[in-house]
Homo-oligomer: A and B are copies of this chain.
């Protein structure tokens, strides 16, 4: 805050140019400085402000850090649908999963690292949509109807960021092909449109839908752990976890990919409970989850 205060009255042309110039030169005297930049610059590059000079995930929102015990305790669970909305949500998820499994030949052939990275990237790029859309709609409604939000927004944003970190972590291992990436662009278009429309009509449906999606995510990551154990993805037992993952989940320095998958699965189990709970609350009831919980 002190550094900010120092520059807060600047916004004449000369002053903004000065800010930008100093920042680019890595002269952070007057600019809020990512401390760690200095640190990482000397190790990774001499050029400040290049993408690789500042590590990903420096300023993430609070999120749960799982203990070894918590990681192991995660189970596949299912909340039986009640009423029309729940059944519709569950039907949607099951249908999507079946089509997706067939198209990607998930249950036939060997599930090697490439297949897993593709699947994880696709799932996470889709999974990052609902939290952000939900947060945006609740934010806009609060502004528009001039009433409070009841504390939901931060939880939805934390979920969205968490899913995006899952994606960025998977990308540290391998970048999918251009063909695949084009499919992702299309999938996002569909997902954003459908989810937005659904959120206008029934937020309850949307949170229940995410709850069921996360049930499937836990199943998927449990299968991934099996594949790591049983052989087709054994390489993740010894492959070191990316730096990003070690920082984000506060893993030990010598953590392996298997530890990363355990952490991701725990995150998904957490989203599952959160979304099923939100779906069971009225929109004007207070969100029971604090930041980072």
A residues within 8 Å of B by Cβ? 1, 3-5, 7-13, 15-17, 19-20, 23-24, 28, 31-34, 49, 51, 53-54, 56, 58-59, 61, 64-67, 69-70, 73-75, 77-80, 82, 121, 124-125, 128-129, 132-133, 135-136, 139-140, 142-151, 153-154, 157, 160-161, 164, 167-168, 171, 175-176, 181, 184-185, 188, 192, 211, 215, 266, 269-270, 272-273, 276-277, 280-281, 284-286, 288-293
Contacts and interface: CB of A to CB of B under 8 A. Distances in A.
A142 B171 CA distance: 12
Given A56-B148, A121-B146, A293-B1, A11 B65 contact: no
B284 A51 contact: yes
A66 B171 CA distance: 40
This chain: how many copies in the complex?
2
Contacts of A64: 1, 4-5
A78 to B, nearest CB: 7
B80 A13 contact: yes
Chain A contact surface mostly: helix
A158 to B, nearest CB: 10
A267 to B, nearest CB: 10
Contact of A188 (B5, B67, B143, B157): B143
A47 to B, nearest CB: 12
Contact of A128 (B15, B125, B139, B211): B139
30 contacts: A1-B64, A3-B293, A5-B66, A8-B73, A9-B75, A10-B77, A11-B78, A11-B276, A32-B290, A33-B288, A34-B151, A34-B290, A49-B285, A49-B286, A53-B286, A59-B151, A59-B154, A59-B290, A59-B291, A124-B143, A125-B143, A125-B146, A128-B139, A132-B136, A132-B140, A144-B188, A146-B171, A146-B175, A148-B168, A157-B157
Contacts of A146: 121, 125, 167, 171, 175-176, 181, 184
A161 B143 CA distance: 10
A19 B277 contact: yes
B215 A51 contact: no
Contact of A286 (B3, B54, B277): B54
Name the residue among A140, A160, A184 with the largest chain B CB count within 10 angstroms.
A140
